[in-house]
Structure 1
Amino acid sequence: MNDTEAEITSQPEVWLRSLALSDQAERELVAPGERMLVLGCGTSWFVAQALAELRESAGFGETDAICASEFRPRRRYDRILAVTRSGTSTEVLEALRTIPPSARTVAITAVRGEPVDDLTDAQLVLDFADERSVVQTRFPTTVLALTRHAFGENIDRVVRDGREALKVDLPKDPAEIDHLVFLGTGWTYGLANEAALKVREAAQAYSESYPAKDFRHGPVAVCGPRSLVWSFGNTDPELDDVARGAGATAYRNRLDPLAQLVLAQRFALALAAHRGLDPDNPRLLTRSVVLTP
């Protein structure tokens, strides 16, 4: 078992372990009535998208998600969350340096004592969810599991479905797939983005992600018999017929969307194995993007 596989397998138990941080997570992530911004790069940006949608739809306040490299301090925020597994990503640190002192800043990270600590007022540290692998799997899902718990969801079912996602059959033999399209709606659009990134990182494969109903507005044109169109959450079932009409395989299941992401991670790993790739050492990637001045 490689590091990536071991970390994927550990996720349901790590989610449960995160509940020890429930009080701090509720204080820092809920903040009723505050206008909040969530920053991140790569996987952390997609976590930010999901977190922002979950918070705002729960009625806690206006919440934006912005890729840290594109952040411009044009709006007033009461609180800014920076999601950064390593605490060292250059674009996240640069964004934090531009934030006015009136905003409370919180880092969601997996490592203590890194540069992000000096730029934030508080740190929510999920060190037990850190990974040896460059490819992130359990850190982002643990952030979202803890977030959902802090927002009042009972994650017992999430954990049960996560365990099930480690056992169910993959939706297709990876040898039969060259192209994946992940669809989501609401907070699951961020999950769709993350699933597509996992396929690109681990398996160097052609993968895309879209808000579900946008699939008909162009993306369907590149689908064919070796395409897998995978829907997260409560997307329109008619989209499955659209995918099949293009010759693609359409897939959805009844698992919680976070558990579905675990299954997508497994598929990315299987596709990497089929292609003879080492997911622990993805091409051209490092644990953290640290840019030289």
Structure 2
Amino acid sequence: MNVTAAEVASQPDVWSRALDLTDPARRELAAPGERMLVLGCGTSWFVAESIAELRESAGLGETDALCASEYVPRRRYDRVVAVTRSGTSTEVLEALRQVPAGTRRVAVTAVEGEPVDDLTDARLLLDFADERSVVQTRFPTSVLALARAAYGQELARTIEDGRQALRAELPVDAAGIDHLVFLGTGWTVGLAHEAALKVREAAQAYSESYPAMDFRHGPVAVAGPRSLVWSLGDVPAGLDDVARGAGATPYRDALDPLAQLILVQRFALALAAHRGLDPDTPRLLTRSVVLT
């Protein structure tokens, strides 16, 4: 088993550990009534998108999500949360340096003693969820599990579904798929983006992601017999017929969306193996993007 696969398999247990941080996460990520911005790059940006939707849906306050490189201090926020596994990504650090004085800055990270610590007022440290792999799997899902708990959701079924996702058969044989499309709605749009990124990173495969109903607005044009259209969460069932009409294979299941992401990660690893790739050494990628 490669390192990435071992970290994928550890997720339900790691989620259980993350729930021990629910009280401090409630203080830093819930903050009822405050206007909040969540920042990140790559995977962490997609986690930020999901957190923003989850927080607003819970009625806790206006919440925006931005790719850290696009942050410009135009809007007023009470709190800025930076999701950064390594605590060293240049774009995240630069964004935090621009946050106006008086705004509370919070880091959600897997490593302590890194530059992000000097730029924030508080830290949620998930060091038990850190990864040796360049490709992120258990850190982002643990952050989302923790955020959901902080917003009042019960995670017992999610954890059990995660274990089921580790035992389940993959939707199709990876050898028959060249193109994947991931669809989400609400907070699972961020999951869809993360799912597509995992396929690109681990398997160097053609993958896309969209808010579910936007699939009809152009993306369906490139779906075909070697396409897998994967729905995450409560995606309208009629889109399966749209996928079939294009000759593609639709897939959905009843697992919690976070557990569904485990199945996606496993599929990405199977696709990488089919292509003769080592997911522990993804092409052109590093653990953290540090710009000079």
Please report the TM-score for the alignment, with normalisation by the length of structure 1.
0.99
Report the residue type matching 2:210 in the other structure: Y
Matches within 5 A, 1:18-57: 18-57=18-57
2:215 matched residue in structure 1: 215
Give the C-alpha shift of residue 194 in structure 1.
Answer: 0.1
- Distance in 2 (CA, whole Å) between partners of 1:231 and 1:69 is 29
Give TM-score scaled by structure 2 length: 1.00
Map Cα deviations across residues 105-161 of structure 1 (whole Å, 9 max, x no partner).
000000000000000000100000000000000000000001101111110000000
SS in 1 for 2:80: strand
Aligned-residue offset at 1:246: 0.3
- Alpha-carbon distance between aligned partners in 1 of 2:23 and 2:33, rounded to the nearest angstrom: 18
Q: CA deviation at 1:43?
A: 0.1
User: After superposition, what is the alpha-carbon deviation per residue over 1:45-81, rounded to whole angstroms, capped at 9, x for unaligned?
Assistant: 0000000000001000000000000011000000000
Residue 142 of structure 1 pairs with residue 142 of structure 2: yes
Structure 1 Cα separation of the partners of residues 96 and 234 of structure 2 = 35
Give the AA of the match of 1:28.
E
Task: Tell me whether 1:225 sits opposite 2:219 in the alignment.
Answer: no
- Please give the alpha-carbon distance, in whole angstroms, between the structure 2 residues aligned to 1:26 and 1:56: 14
Give, in angstroms, the shift of residue 19 of structure 1.
1.4
Query: What CA deviation, in whole Å up to 9, does each residue of 1:73-114 have, x standing for no partner?
Result: 000000000000000000000000000111100000000000
2:171 paired with 1:176? no
Q: Which amino acid aligns with 1:2?
A: N
Matched, 1:82 2:66: no
Query: 2:115 is matched with which residue?
Result: 115
TM-fit CA distance, 1:267: 0.3
SS in 1 for 2:199: helix
**Alignment partners' CA distance in 2, 1:185 and 1:154:** 20
Match of 2:99 in 1: 99
Residue 264 (str. 1) matches residue 228 (str. 2)? no
Q: For this pair of structures, how many residues does the alignment match?
A: 292
Aligned to 2:189: 189
Once residues 164 and 260 of structure 1 are traced to their aligned partners in structure 2, the CA distance between those partners, rounded to angstroms, is 10
CA distance in 1, matches of 2:187, 2:21: 22
Work out whether 1:239 is the aligned partner of 2:239. Answer: yes
Of all paired residues, the percent bearing the same amino acid is 78
User: Distance between the aligned counterparts of 1:145 and 1:256, measured in 2?
Assistant: 11
Q: What is the RMSD computed on CA atoms of the aligned residues? A: 0.4
Q: Which residue of 2 aligns with 1:12?
A: 12
Structure 1 alignment gaps of length 5 or more:
none
Q: Which aligned runs of 4 or more in structure 1 are off by greater than 2 angstroms?
A: none
* Offset, 1:283: 0.1
**Partner-residue secondary structure (3-state), 2:168:** coil
What secondary structure is seen at the aligned counterpart in 1 of 2:241? helix
Q: Give, as a single letter, the amino acid of the residue that structure 1 aligns with 2:170.
A: L
Match of 1:69 in 2: 69
Tell me the CA shift for residue 23 of structure 1.
Answer: 1.1
C-alpha distance in 2 between matches for 1:289 and 1:186: 29
Structure 2 letter corresponding to 1:105: R
Measured in 2, the distance between the counterparts of 1:39 and 1:154 equals 25
- Equivalent position amino acid for 1:247 in 2: G
CA distance in 1, matches of 2:102, 2:260: 39
2:275 is aligned to 275
